[in-house]
A = this chain, B = another copy of it.
Amino acid sequence: MDASIELLDISGESGLTFRALCERLATGPGAIYWHIANKSDLMTAACDAIVARMMGANVAGATPKATIRAVALGVFDAIDAHPWVGSTLTSPAGWLPMVRILEPLGQQVRALGVPDKEQWATVSALLHYILGVGGQNAANGQLARTQGLDRGDFLEAVATMWAQLDPHEYPFTRSLAGQVRAHDDRMDFLAGIDLILRGIDSPRRR
């Protein structure tokens, strides 16, 4: 498991190869297949190890909203440190690691007094926002690293691309180009969380 995570961290999903793993463990593919069913299971197990480790660090005693923010930031940082976790989490096979995140979010949503009927849509919004932004952020970081750019260079490249879009067809995205240069990933991420939390507070109409 440790060897798999190391390989994934070094060079992503394509870096985890049965041949590379065999070399690392000084063994043959048959030995590995004795313990796991296939590569998908191996990825899920590696992902689950990361998620379980991260969730274990959570503390109790804070307010529901503070706990939600803490869980969100924990997932964000974990995906940032292990970019492959993002895509593995959302892959159909990986429902168990996902439940590990869904559970604490759900507990806090319930503590906030959201009625039973609306709890699923609420956790759903939180969960997918967290995984979505986390995954995007990690993918950006990896793409930048692949092209040998630092964060500033990368944002500059994105801003330039967006600024070159057709002004008639893409007025909004173009207007974003300026902001993107100076933005703070974690702060913007938290602003989105707070937006959803405000939606939870606000009364439903029908």
Contact = CB atoms under 8 A, between A and B. Distances in A.
B122 A132 contact: no
Nearest to A188: B121
Interface string A96-128: 000100110011001000001111111111011
Copies in the complex: 2
Given A179-B120, A188-B120, A107 B172 contact: yes
A124 B188 contact: yes
Interface stretch (A29-37, A74-82, A189-197): A189-197
A132 B127 contact: yes
A90 interface: yes
Interface in A107-154: 107, 110, 116-125, 127-129, 131-133, 135-136, 139-140, 142-143
B191 A136 contact: no
Interface string A142-183: 110000000000000010011001000111110010011001
Nearest to A190: B121
A200 interface: yes
A91 interface: yes
Of the candidates A116, A171, A195, the one having the most CB atoms from chain B within 10 angstroms of its own CB is A195
Contacts of A61: none
Nearest to A206: B194
B191 A99 contact: no
A195 to B, nearest CB: 4
Given A139-B91, A173-B103, A118 B202 contact: no
Given A102-B173, A121-B192, A133 B143 contact: no
A12 B30 CA distance: 28
